[in-house]
Structure 1
Amino acid sequence: MKKIYFASDQHFGAPTAELSFPREQKFVQWLDAVKIDAEAIFLLGDLFDFWFEYKTVVPKGFVRVLGKLAEIRDSGIPIYFFVGNHDLWMHDYFEKELNIPVYHNNQEFTFNAKTFLIGHGDGKGPGDLGYKRMKKVFTHPFSKWLYRWLHPDIGVRLAQYLSVKNKLISGEADVHFLGEDNEWLIQYCKRKLETKQYDYFVFGHRHLPMTISLNPNSQYINLGDWIGYFTYGVFDGVQFELKEYK
């Protein structure tokens, strides 16, 4: 009866630490609830609204979330973390301190003979060319080297300011389903199916909880977010469901 749980796009720290705190508490409560029957937990990116690892410094805060993840991992439950577009500068802190593997690209998994392709979802599909160019610049080693020369008090504050200026991330914008032909992640999944069959494509990034049938044996799932929806995915070995944590 063990289950596999998925969650994405918590954006802790946005729009301010004070306003983010109740959402952090709710997420910790969810972790406490699912650890009872969890075979594994997948976190699909943007856990933080900003994250950058200096050589000896990480952003201040998030102690309850990090402590709960450490507790669950120490109990023997695997946790997998996928880097999102807001924590793309994550390096090895989770791996060294929490024993949680960090993935920067999509990964394939098989559970109970069901195949999964899992990732955050940013920069996938035919569009979003501006972001794809920006991501290449941000993830270039020279860019990260330059940023490390900023004092953490300046670098973190600057990044947080720029991040919350995006109304989507601060939760102030309404997100709409664009239709299958205009949803880049759906188009990405359909193209992947041309070369290989997957039972489930599981992504975040869009902040919209949705389940779309791609063919009779394949589904695209977007996990929504923990800003307005508080949704998560659960696979019980037979089927995948999206649920809301209340």
Structure 2
Amino acid sequence: MNIPKGKKIYFASDNHLGAPTAEASRPREQKFVAWLEEIKHDAAAIFLMGDLFDFWFEYKTVVPKGFTRTLGKLAEITDAGIPIYFFVGNHDLWMDGYFEEELGISVYHKPQEYTFKNKTFLIGHGDGLGPGDTGYKRMKKIFTSRFGKWLFRWLHPDIGVRIAQYLSVKNKLISGDDDAKFLGEDNEWLVQYCKRKLETKHSDYFIFGHRHLPLEIDLNENSKYVNLGDWIQYYTYGVFDGENLELKKF
């Protein structure tokens, strides 16, 4: 991907809009929309790294109510010709065409590789990667199976959304989230995942979300793991100017 002179690539993750309630998350949504408005003037591309919503499920003809400001701003940006890439998280993994068809946003369910200005990137949300977290990995297989999604669609949206929102907040096994504190490199599953990847292929940057912690960890002299933090406590994001990647706070 080319980066025109004066342009940058932006990365953000883990907004969890709608949590703990739509009203409580409204100020965070407004702040995120203000950030999108600010960066659209010099953005070559925007990568949203998952868990934009605390819950998202696409029925055949229905999507969750709300998030009008965010969806409208995303549509405005793509309509202006700025590409947006979305990597589903563990809270919004049931995407099935709405973002592509209505907003012109490319959606990915697995990490992807990119090259920007001769720098190589491996990018993804980060849930279920690396060793451990076996309980969540089993639950994810059930939730993403064709049969599992078919069963959920039989629930009326008012019932299905309420159940999912309750589980998202109350059940850490299903949400896949841990307490947001650094566990040390040997116990951080994403760090271990990146190191294993480096055994077979070089990447200059590994960029993930999911952990809700802004982290920059040197894996070796030429590779770095970056976790983007969140838009709940830290309001941090990544920006690549063609030479260097930085974590910044909005």
TM bucket, shorter chain: over 0.9
Which residue pairs with 2:165 in the alignment? 160
Question: Partner residue of 1:62?
Answer: 67
SS in 1 for 2:219: strand
Gaps of 5+ in 2: 1-5
Whether 1:33 and 2:34 are equivalent positions in the alignment is: no
Q: Which residue of 2 aligns with 1:233?
A: 238
Shift of 1:98: 0.4
Q: Which residue of 2 aligns with 1:14?
A: 19
1-structure distance, mates of 2:33, 2:170 = 26
Q: 2:128 matched to which residue of 1?
A: 123
Counterpart code for 2:188: E
The 2-side partners of 1:223 and 1:166 are apart by: 23
Distance 1:162 1:169, change over 3 A: closer
- CA distance in 2 between counterparts of 1:242 and 1:124 reads 22
Residue in structure 2 matching 1:212, options 203, 217, 230: 217
Does the Cα contact within 8 Å between 2:49 and 2:125 map onto a contact in 1? yes
Cα separation, 1, equivalents of 2:53 and 2:179: 20
SS in 1 for 2:47: strand
Q: Is the 8 A contact 2:136 2:174 kept in 1?
A: no
8 Å contact kept, 1:51–1:90: yes
- TM-score under structure 2 length normalisation: 0.95
Contact 1:11–1:169 under 8 Å retained in 2: no
Structure 1 position 140, deviation (Å) = 0.4
Q: What does residue 3 of structure 2 align with?
A: none
Alignment of 1:22-101 (within 5 A): 22-101=27-106
Separation in structure 2 between the aligned mates of residue 223 and residue 204 of structure 1, nearest angstrom: 5
Q: Does 1:112 align with 2:117?
A: yes
2:142 maps to which of 137, 143, 154: 137
**How far off is 1:169 after superposition?**
11
Structure 2: how far apart are the matches of 1:163 and 1:230? Answer: 21
Cα distance, 1:44 vs. partner? 0.2
Alpha-carbon distance in 2 for matches of 1:52, 1:3: 31
1:145-224 paired onto structure 2 within 5 Å? 145-166=150-171, 175-224=180-229
1:10-34 per-residue CA deviation (whole Å, 9 max, x = no partner) reads: 0000000000000000000000010
Q: TM-score, normalised by structure 1?
A: 0.96
How many Å separate the matches in 2 of 1:167 and 1:208? 17
Contact 2:84-2:106 at 8 Å conserved across structures: yes
Cα separation, 2, equivalents of 1:138 and 1:8: 21
Report the RMSD for the aligned CA atoms in angstroms: 1.5
| Contact residue 49 and residue 87 of structure 1 kept, 8 A | yes
Question: Hey, what's the Cα distance between the residues in 2 that align with 1:166 and 1:234?
Answer: 33
3-state SS of 1:66 partner: helix
CA drift at 1:163: 1.0
Does the 8 Å CA contact 1:168/1:174 hold for their aligned counterparts? no
Q: Which runs of 5+ in 1 are unaligned?
A: none
Residues 166 and 233 (structure 1), Cα distance of their counterparts in 2 relative to 1, 3 Å cut: farther
Deviation string 1:173-227 (CA, Å, 9 cap, x unpaired) is 9521000000000000000000000000000000000100001110000000000
CA distance in 1, matches of 2:179, 2:67: 26
- Secondary structure in structure 2 of the residue aligned to 1:181: helix
Residue identity opposite 1:89 in structure 2: W
- Count of residues in Structure 1 that have an aligned counterpart in Structure 2: 243
SS at 1:228's partner residue? Answer: coil
- Give identity over the alignment, percent: 78
